[in-house]
Structure 1
Amino acid sequence: MLIAKGKTALMQIFLIAYLTGILWLRRNPLSLIFSAISPFSLLFILFIVSEGKYLPLSITGSLVMALVGYGLSLGQDISFYKNEYKIQDVFVASPVSPITYMVGLALSQILFGLPALLVLISLATLFLSSAIYIPLLLVTTFLVWASMSSMGFFLSSHMLHMRNVSQIISFVNVILSILPPVFYSIERLPVLFQYVSYLVPTTHASLIIQSTMGIATPKEWSIELGFLVLAIYLVGFVFLAKVKALWRES
């Protein structure tokens, strides 16, 4: 019974991803380029300004920023499908669960950024201090993307207008990928703000990647702590998406 339900859920996920991702990309392949503009623009600027000195940090920040952007943009897509196309009403009336719907759309969203992510991950692997850290890099990538997708789904479910969604998602994007020590060393912050930044998941994602590159990280921080925080955010927002997200309109 559970196996049958699992197979059905997987089929539903891939069908949603196909309808909202692959079909769109077949008609608009330039979307792959447009979605990569932001992270690569910052990477280019930082590379020029620092004359390549901070390239590892720039690649780390660009990768984390891309993951945050692709994850949170799920919220904009969901709001658009719900409020403009009314597609969500179709899935609400079907046996599709909110989590299945979320995962399907998240998978379609990552398709838009897949080429950019592959390039950034490949660049990051060039600066790893050892090949044994590749699994850590991939796990970190997954945790950030999954937690940000869950956050985007949860936030968008409580917003009724596209303008509000765009504003909130953009604000959260800045809070998570620009202000924290993602593109720069955490040691540049005052001690108080360093501890505050530990509350932000992207800080830990950046520190994990930095540590795999051999970049010095704070003594009070550890990779285990970083993965713990990322896991807490993932589980927490998946739980909120499942229990507290507004799926059916009253």
Structure 2
Amino acid sequence: IIKGKNTSAETLAKAYDFVQQIGKIPIVVNDRRGFFTSRVFGTFVQEGLRLLAEGVHPARIEMAALKAGMPVGPLAIQDEVSLTLSEHVANETRKALQAEGKDLPRSGADDVIETMIHQFQRKGKAAGAGFYDYPEGGKKQLWEGLSCWKKDIDVPEQEMIDRFLFVQALDALRCLEEGVLESALDGNIGSIFGIGFAPWTGGALQFLNQYGLEKALLRANTLQAKYGERFKAPQMLRDKAAQGGKI
């Protein structure tokens, strides 16, 4: 349920009741770019594309995501939502941020999407060809052409698993810190039921609690040093870890 700045408590309560009456699980988010589920889920898909750009074998990427507890690999999901849609969203987001005097730096994920669409004419499942081939009456399989990104690189599987889980968990925490989410409970429920975040964790925010906040902060710092700002620990994680509390 997306709450606008003028949404009354009465309207919110009616919407909440209605959602339960139609057999759905409601969570409340405030009106921001990407809201919560789309925003956090995007970080998962992007991380898979970044790994491909780094030279990791696509089958290893998909397997690491499954071992992390995600229901589907990021390349398969990207095919489902279509590469052209992702390119459009990235372009519009970049324009909107630039209008605010900010920027969205290009990444290896952007380069992969651009190459797939404009060089290889592979736009996703609906177009019949993406990261996977979709033979008629046959089982989908990874496209052999993805070998063009293959490099002599060895990212350990556990490192990939951590990247998939932490990139989502840290962004979910940013959503809570920025007021996009109103409670950790909504974040945990929404991440599992809305985007299929690894159910064994108890949710994207509970993942940090069960990992141990001090350990999670150290891991985030290590990932940030190696891979960049998307793994920067939000201040809330630093504060809660120092206090010995939970999110």
TM-score by length of 1: 0.30
More helix by percentage: 1
* More contact order relative to length (CA 8 Å, sep ≥ 6): 1
TM-score by length of 2: 0.30
